[in-house]
Every structure is written in C-alpha cells, then in structure tokens.
Amino acid sequence: MRPMRDFDAQPHLFDNIVRLRPMLPSDFDALFAVASDREIWAIHPAHDRWQEPLFRTFFADGLASGGALVIEDTATGAVIGSSRFDPSRSGPGEIEIEIGWTFLPRSHWGGVANRSVKRLMIGHALTAYDRVIFLVGEGNIRSRRALEKIGAVLTDRRHNVPLHGGIARHVIYAIDRARFAEGLLNS
C-alpha cells in the first residue's frame, strides 16, 4: 500500500552510535567483509549467505530494491552492516512498511547498534506509514528476542518464502506509532 505521504526509502539517518546512508555498488567489499562470517547467518533461514555468490545476489537485490541502507559506526566510520525498507509485503488495506534484511557483525550483537538502527529506521518510517513490520524466520530466536526487546509485537500473520528448494516459514512482528511513542527504543 502507498504511504500516507512522500517517503524517502534511502535517507541519511544518524545518531551518536550509527549512521545510515543509501547503499552504493562500491559498498560490496566492505559489506561482504562483514557478511562473510558464517556465524552471522547460522540460525537465519538463508544460512549460507556468507558465501560470496549468495551474498552477491543479496547485495544486488538490495541495490535494486531502492530501499537498502549501509550501516556505519559513527565513531569509526567503519561499515558494520546493512538494512532495508520494503513496502511490498504490506497486508491488505494496511499502510505499513517492512524493515528487514538487517545484519551486523557479532561484535555488535546484543549492544546498542541494532537498537539505534531500528530506532532511526522506525522513526523515519512512521512519518509516512502507520506501522512497521518485520519478517523473521520462525526459528530465529535471537532476532525474535531482539524485536521483542524494542517493543515489536508478534502478529498472527505468517509469510512463507521459497528457499533452498523448500519453504522458509516466517513470523511477522509489528510496531505502530503508539508502541514507538511509548519509548521502548529509548530506554
């Protein structure tokens, strides 16, 4: 569904922890240097994305999406991952956008970087959409817990993605303006 107002899917966003900027073709090497750690993808449905040919497809899809962002560490300027906006999985009659495809190095797991990325992206998305959704592999407990920590709520919606000759089952979490206003991402 179309946003309520114009939406910049590749904004420049920042705080004292991370900077987000549009992904460029020249970002491949820096992003692959992070993504080549197989442990990042171990419990992800696309568990082999650490391999260069598969990551290259992931990267090309991100560029083609028009919503991919590079995540940089504000203090060092180092590329530490990426994330993406995608309005295509909106439910019937919903004015919502997905935030997904996020990855960070293990050195940034469980810390403030993911919280900052999500706070910046959700805040930006809610200027034009009623809510933000997140598709997460059903068995990806680490990502599910991270979403619950920031106040996202598990919905009754599910989404199946063809992957590796089978189906990867995903659950859908959501956060709307009211939940975001509660300030769970600022605590």
Residue 5 inside a domain? The answer is no
Give the chain's length.
187
pLDDT (tens digit, 9 = 90+) per residue, 165-185?
777 788 999 999 988 888 766
What whole-number distance in Å separates Cα of residue 118 and Cα of residue 143? 12
pLDDT of residue 29: 98
* Average pLDDT per consecutive 10 residues, the chain (187 residues; last block may be shorter): 76 97 98 93 79 93 96 96 90 84 88 90 94 90 86 90 76 92 71
Domain count, the chain: 1
> What are the residues whose beta carbons fall under 8 Å from the beta carbon of 120, sequence distance 6 or more?
13, 14, 15, 18, 20
pLDDT of residue 48: 83
Residue 112 inside a domain? The answer is yes
DSSP letter string, 145-158: HHHHHTT-EEEEEE
Q: Which residue has 């992931």 as its token pair?
A: 58
Residue 110 inside a domain? The answer is yes
Domain span at 73: 13-186
What pTM did the predictor assign? 0.90
Residue 49 inside a domain? The answer is yes
pLDDT of residue 160: 81
pLDDT of residue 33: 97
Residue 7 inside a domain? The answer is no
pLDDT of residue 2: 60
Spacing of C-alpha 124 from chain mean position: 13
CA proximity to 151, closest of 176, 184, 173: 184
